[in-house]
Amino acid sequence: MTAMTGAVESGLIYAIVALGVYLSFRILDFPDLTVDGSFVTGAAVAATLIVNGDDPFMATCLALFVGFAAGCMTGLLHTAGKINPLLSGILMMIALYSINLRIMGRSNVPLLNQKTVFTTIQEWGTTCGLDSAAAKTWGILLSMTLLALLFKWFTDWFLQTEIGLAIRATGDNPRMIRSLSANTNLLIVFGLGLSNAMVAFSGALVAQYGGFADVGMGIGMIIIGLASVIIGEAVFGTKTIARATLAVIGGAIMYRIVVSLALRVQFLETGDVKLITACIVILALVVPQMARQQKEKKRKEEKRRNRAQVMAVAATGKGEADVAVKKDL
């Protein structure tokens, strides 16, 4: 049970990463690998500020802005520097690795016994009369649900605004939206900024949730985000934007549950998480394709069988007709 609530809690926190990845991958159609770096940047900024004794809420919000700047840089590399999207993201990711080390001053910043967003929420819970453990679980669960829904609501709202529509069109048909006087370069920069702001914000929360910021904590984050998006879309559908963003949050939670279930298997170790993630994404990408092929094959076979039947009937019919004709003669 505790493992499940843990999975749901972290699912809700990582849902914000997934929403960011949804913005870049799906809305802008830009495979942005900056995420691996900007996630840590958010964690590093928040952890460093918290250790310095700053307010954890302010520290978390600052991570949002730093992430925004990182995303904008990737956008500028692509638009102003005319570098291929994948490469711009990888370049920024590598650059951020060093920047993150600089921010933290070392490769790991522990947050034990520090005042974080979560300890503050827990304190509120106990003042409301809950015992410490319940305050922690329910406080985190409730506040993270609200936060994830807040980001979902923001994304839904933003993508319906005039600027949001233009960003969606930039991913859908850039030539068309340029002919409708939109500066696609600016929109890409802004969209990537927004995406990475969410990712960094989530990184800041993860650091406080896990009790440390580590320079390696972002490895594979893009794949985790993508896994959440793909699982969510496959299970919940993408009919409207509101539906798709809800799917992404659901996908993030499901991903965490699957991983925590997988880790219960005897011979799997904690270090295998990334391998499991890769396998989940591969399965999520390959299985629907195979299912579609199988379905198509079945359909064709059915068609062929039907035609064979029709031909057979026609042949016998003809035979009888011949008989009739002969009789007439």
Partner 1 sequence: MLQLKRIYKVFHEGTPDEKIALQNIHLTLRKGDFVTVIGSNGAGKSTLMNVISGVLFPDEGTIWIDGQDVTMMPEYIRSRYIGRVFQDPMAGTAPNMTIEENLAMAYTRNQKRTLRRGVTKKRRDEFRELLSTLHLGLENRLQAKVGLLSGGERQALSLLMATFTEPAILLLDEHTAALDPARAELITNLTKEIVERYRLTTLMITHHMQQAIDLGNRLIMMDKGQIILEVDENEKKRLTVEKLLAEFQRIRGEQLVSDRAVLS
Catalog residues that contact partner 1 under the rule CB under 8 A: 158, 160-166, 168-169, 172-173, 175-184
Residue 151 CB, nearest approach to partner 1 (Å): 17
**DSSP of 250-284:** HHHHHHHHHHHHHTTSTT--GGGHHHHHHHHHHHH
Tell me whether residue 40 is exposed, middle or buried, using C-beta atoms within 10 angstroms of its C-beta: 0 to 12, 13 to 18, 19 or more: buried
Q: Which is nearer to partner 1, 131 or 162 (CB)?
A: 162
Residue 213 CB, nearest approach to partner 1 (Å): 33
Residue position matching structure tokens 């926190």? 13
Q: Which is nearer to partner 1, 19 or 166 (CB)?
A: 166
Q: Which is nearer to partner 1, 162 or 269 (CB)?
A: 162
Q: Which is nearer to partner 1, 154 or 212 (CB)?
A: 154
Q: Which is nearer to partner 1, 139 or 171 (CB)?
A: 171
Q: C-alpha dihedral over 158, 85, 74, 198, to 10 degrees?
A: 40
Helix axes 35-51, 184-210, angle to 10 degrees: 50
Q: Which is nearer to partner 1, 173 or 294 (CB)?
A: 173
Residue 175 CB, nearest approach to partner 1 (Å): 6
State residue 108 phi and psi, 5-degree precision.
-145, 130
Nearest to 64, CA basis, from 20, 25, 96, 94:
20
Q: Which is nearer to partner 1, 114 or 183 (CB)?
A: 183
Contacts of 277 (CB under 8 A, 6+ apart): 220, 223, 224, 227, 255, 259
Residue 179 CB, nearest approach to partner 1 (Å): 5
Residue 186 CB, nearest approach to partner 1 (Å): 9
Residue 27 CB, nearest approach to partner 1 (Å): 10
The Cα–Cα gap between 64 and 72 comes to 12
In this structure, what token pair is assigned to residue 72?
A: 């904008």
Residue 31 CB, nearest approach to partner 1 (Å): 17
In this structure, what token pair is assigned to residue 78?
A: 């692509």
